[in-house]
Amino acid sequence: MKYQNYINGQFINAGEFLEVYDKYSGELIGEVPIANEKEVQMAMESNRQAFTVMKKYSAGKRAAFLEKLYQLLDSQKEDFARLIMREAGKPISYARSEVMRALDNIKTGIRETYSFSGEMVPMDYLNGQGKTAYTIRQAAGPVLAITPFNFPLNLALHKIIPAIAVGASITVKPAPQAPLTMLKFAELIDQTGLPEGTVNILFTHNHLSQKMVEDSRFKILSFTGSDKIGWMLKNLSGKKKVLLEMGGNAAAIVDETADYQRAARKLVYGSFLNAGQICISTQRIFVQENVFNDFVNYFLDETKKVKSGNPADEEVINSSMISHNDLMRIDSWVKEAVAEGAKILYGGKILDKAANIFEPTVLTGTDNRMKIYTEEAFAPVVLIESFKDFNEAIDKVNDSRYGLQAGVFSNHLPHILQAQKNLEVGGVIVNDAPGFRIDSMPYGGIKDSGMGREGAKYVMQEFTEPKLIVLG
C-alpha cells in the first residue's frame, strides 16, 4: 500500500518512496513518499500560517478538536494496533496497549485544555501596593516533532496533543523504521476540522530534516530518540526551545528487605517486553548479596517462561528487533562482554536470524568497561550484579551517563528515602520496574537522557510562554 505525506491539509505523493517491511515476516507492507524540498518548505510555511489561526481559538474549540480525534482513533483502534505490530515488530498485546494509552493520552489532553492556566503573582508590597498581577500562558509558536520507531503512535501524540491543546501548530517527522502509523494517523487529523497546516505529517531525507531544525519558523523542537542525534539537533536548533527524551540504560535495586520474587517477576517483564526496545527497559539490576542467589534463581525461572516469536501470537513478549543491524549489534555486544569476563546465565544467542529475534539474555560479571553495561542496549538483555550495602547500590546506578528512571525494590523506609534523594535520574519508581509509566506523569531524564518533561500538562507548559498582566 502506498501512503501519502500530509501537508497543509493535502495528501501528497512525492516522486521517491521508502519501502517499509514487516519486521517479523519481512513482507513489504507499505511505501512512504519522501518529501522533497518544496514540500518541506510548504509544511513550514503552512505551520506558520496555521499558528496565526490556532492561537486565537478558545480552549473549548481546541478541546473539541481533540474530542473528535479521540472518537476517530477509538473507531479504528484494532487497525492501528495491527499496523504497529507489523511495522514495529511489537507483540500484538503490547501494540493494543499502546493504542489504549494513546486514547487515554487524548483524554488527558482534553482535561488539561480546559484547566490549563497561568498563576496569580503576589505584588501587593513596595511600589506594587494596590496592584493585582497574574500570568496567562500563550503558545510560543510552531513545533517541530521528531519521533521514534518503538511507540510510533503514542510518542508522537505526546507532542501532537499538547500542541493542539495550547493552540500551536506542529510538523511531525516519524522514524524511517516505522513511519506508516503516523501517515495513517494523518487520515484522522484530516477529519477533525483543524485548520489546514495545523498538523503536518511527513517523512523526508535527513538533510531536509536538518533544514527544518535550523529554520526559524519553528519555535520549538521536540525530539525523542538517541542521545547522539538529540544533542546534535540541539546544537543546530538556534534559538528554539528544545525538549529531548533520549532513553538510557535503566537500573533497578533489590535490597534484602524486598519481596524478591515479586521484584523478579516485575523485572523480567520490564527487561524483555518488546525485545527490550523501550527507553526505560530494565538493563541493569543490582541485588543485595545475601539474597542475590535466591533472586537470580527465581529470575531465571521467570525468564524461561518468556515466550519469543511471532508478534501476532497473543502470548509473545519478546519478538523482532527493529532491524538486522540491531540484531547483529547486540549479538556482538554480548560476545564482547563474555570475552571480557562476563558470564551468560541464560540465553545469549540469536533465536531467529530471518525474523531478527534475539533470545532473552541474562548476564553477570559485567562492569563499566563493557558496552553492554555503559551504553543503551535497546535489546532483550539484562545484567544482574550484587552489592554489599545500599550506598554501593546507589553508586552503581549513578555510574552511568544516562539518568531517565530507576526502580527501587525495598520495604525499608530509610533506603527508599536515600534513593529518592541520591539517585541521579528523572524518576524513582518504588517497588516496581523502572519501566513504569502513566502518560500523564512528568516523564523525562537528566544527563544524557535528555531535558524537559513529557505528559500533557508538562509539555503544554514547555510549548507556551507566560505573559505577565499587572492591573493598577
Q: Helices in 190-257 by DSSP H: which ranges?
A: 206-214, 227-236
Query: Is 462 assigned a catalytic role?
Result: no
Q: Are 181 and 149 in contact (CB under 8 A)?
A: no
Instruction: Tell me whether strands 199-201 and 220-224 are parallel, antiparallel or unpaired.
Output: unpaired
DSSP per-residue string spanning 56-91: TS-HHHHHHHHHHHHHHHHHTHHHHHHHHHHHH---
Residues 6+ apart with CB under 8 A from 383: 283, 284, 285, 342, 362, 363, 364, 366, 372, 373
Q: Are 34 and 45 in contact (CB under 8 A)?
A: no
Query: Is 245 assigned a catalytic role?
Result: yes
Please name the residue that has the C-alpha cell 482513533: 73
Which one-letter amino acid corresponds to residue 107? K
Residue in 39, 279, 454, 462 annotated catalytic: 279
What is the Cα–Cα distance from 419 to 430, expressed in whole angstroms? Answer: 9
Nearest to 104 by CA among 440, 459, 444, 462: 440
| Phi-psi region at 275: left, alpha or beta (left = phi > 0; alpha = psi -120 to 50) | left
Residue in 39, 245, 359, 376 annotated catalytic: 245
Q: How distant, in Å, are the alpha carbons of 41, 51, 63, 102, 166 from that of 48?
A: 11, 5, 21, 27, 15
Q: How distant, in Å, are the alpha carbons of 42, 243, 401, 429, 460 from that of 453?
A: 30, 7, 18, 16, 10
What is the Cα–Cα distance from 328 to 407, expressed in whole angstroms? Answer: 29
Here the cell at position 180 is 506508516
Instruction: Tell me whether strands 220-224 and 241-245 are parallel, antiparallel or unpaired.
Output: parallel
Q: Where are the extended beta strands (E) located within 120-161?
A: 120-121, 132-139, 143-146
Q: How distant, in Å, are the alpha carbons of 46, 254, 425 from that of 207?
A: 20, 46, 33
Q: What is the DSSP letter of 388?
A: S
The pair phi, psi for residue 272, each rounded to 5°, is -115, -10
Q: What is the DSSP letter of 276?
A: G
Just list the catalytic residues: 245, 279
